[in-house]
C-alpha cells in the first residue's frame, strides 16, 4: 500500500498508518460504515478538530499555518499522540514544513514499513496490518 498526500491530516497525523484507516481499506470491518477513509478524503475538516474554522474553511492546509497554532485542541492531541502512540504531531508538522509533504511521506514509508513482510505498521497498535508482526516501541 502506497502512502499519499491525501492521507496526511491537517494536524500532521498520517492517516495511512491509522488502525481505523488500515482496517477499513483492508476490509476488516463488517460494516462499510465502520473505520475511516482519512481526514482529507472525508472532506469534513479534521477528525480531531471538527470545529476548527481555519481547517473547515480551508484557510490553512496544515495546523502550523494557523496564527493560533498551537491551539488548545492541538496541544491536547499532541499530548495524547506523544504519550500513547510515541508520535509527535509537532515533529510531523515541522518535517512537512521543512521537507514538504513528499519528503515527509518518503520518511513515513520507511518508518512504518514492516521489517517482516514490507506491509504497513499501524501507529496505534505498532503491529503490521498484513502479517501481524509487532514492533518494539
- pLDDT tens per residue, range 69-97: 998 888 999 999 999 999 999 999 999 99
What pLDDT score was predicted for residue 33? 58
Closest CA to 85 of 125, 39, 38: 125
pLDDT of residue 133 exceeding 60, the answer is yes
The Cα–Cα gap between 31 and 120 comes to 22
The share of the chain scoring above pLDDT 70, in percent, equals 83
The reported pLDDT for the residue numbered 137 is: 61
What is the distance between the alpha carbons of residues 48 and 61, in angstroms, rounded to a whole number? 15
Check whether 44 has a pLDDT greater than 80.
no
Residue 134 pairs in a beta bridge with 127
Position with higher pLDDT, 41 vs 15: 15
Q: What does pLDDT average to over the chain?
A: 84
pLDDT greater at residue 106 or residue 24: 106
pTM of structure: 0.84
Distance of CA 14 to the CA centre of its chain: 2
CA 119-120-125 angle, 5° bins: 125
Amino acid at each position: 500500500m502506497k502512502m499519499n498526500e491525501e492521507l496526511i491530516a491537517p494536524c500532521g497525523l498520517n492517516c495511512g498508518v491509522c488502525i481505523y484507516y488500515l482496517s477499513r481499506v483492508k476490509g476488516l470491518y463488517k460494516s462499510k460504515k465502520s473505520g475511516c477513509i482519512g481526514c482529507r478524503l472525508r472532506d469534513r475538516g479534521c477528525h480531531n478538530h471538527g470545529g476548527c474554522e481555519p481547517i473547515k474553511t480551508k484557510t490553512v492546509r496544515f495546523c502550523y499555518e494557523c496564527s493560533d497554532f498551537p491551539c488548545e485542541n492541538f496541544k491536547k492531541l499532541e499530548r495524547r499522540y506523544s504519550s500513547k502512540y510515541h508520535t509527535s504531531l509537532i515533529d510531523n508538522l515541522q518535517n512537512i514544513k521543512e521537507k514538504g509533504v513528499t519528503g515527509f511521506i518518503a520518511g513515513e514509508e520507511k518508518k512504518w514499513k514492516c521489517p517482516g513482510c514490507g506491509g504497513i505498521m499501524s501507529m496505534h497498535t505498532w503491529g503490521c496490518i498484513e502479517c501481524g508482526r509487532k514492533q518494539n516501541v
